[in-house]
Amino acid sequence: MPKVSDEHKEQRIQQILLAASEVFKSKGYEQATLKDIVEEAGMSRGWIYLYFKDKTTIFLALIDYLDAQLEERISTLLKENKGSAHGVLISYFQETSQSIDRLEDSVVPAIYEFCTTGWREQQVRDYFVNRYIRVTAIFIDVIGKGVENGEFKPTRSVDEIVKYMISSLDGIMLHSLAFGSQQINAVQQVNLLINQLMEMLSVNFLKIMEKNS
């Protein structure tokens, strides 16, 4: 086995995940092979086996990586919005809305495919349940900050609001992919969801204007 420093290791893994991401984007999950990833990465198969035992392991590492990026993005948005949770949510939904007609060129279709073909397997289920808890926690945290600093006065439990929010958003994304974002008026739907979210959170706009001034 080749010896590598931690930094090199990180670089290699990133390189593999980047290559895998390209392959899963263009082929989906099932049709993609480890060989495709090896070729796209331009590494020998041995290097890849050093870190990942098969296609599934690479795929799950890729999802984890994307989720970590989401978490980082939310942190950045919090800073950019001077700690305003309202600002974070609006920015996040705007970004989602802007990218919704390009979902097909992302890893999202492969994730839906993997999830809907794999949910009979306990391991896949367990993985996705953990992921669900992790992703809801990110948004529960953001909204919690908004409650603490007086921006929001939720009319329902934050847990309930977040769960509903991500189901609806996933439904809109699923429908965009299945029927086309134009057909379903995806952007309009995301706007409607934002409105409903803000209503459930009883946004205190005076407080937000104060923060921004």
Span 109-168, contacts to a copy of itself by CB under 8 A: 109, 112-113, 115-117, 119-120, 125, 128-129, 132, 156, 159-160, 163-164, 166-168
Span 55-84, contacts to a copy of itself by CB under 8 A: none
- We find the least distance from the C-beta atom of residue 156 to a copy of itself, in angstroms, to be 7
144 contacts 158 by C-beta, under 8 angstroms: yes
* Backbone φ, ψ for residue 153 (5° rounding): -130, 80
Per CB under 8 A, does 87 bind a copy of itself? no
Nearer to a copy of itself by C-beta: 47 or 112?
112
Which one of the spans 67-75, 80-88, 146-154, 175-183 is the region binding a copy of itself (CB under 8 A)?
A: 175-183
Nearer to a copy of itself by C-beta: 43 or 174?
174
Give Cα separations from 87 to 83, 91, 93, 148 (angstroms): 8, 6, 10, 15
Span 15-34, contacts to a copy of itself by CB under 8 A: 28, 30
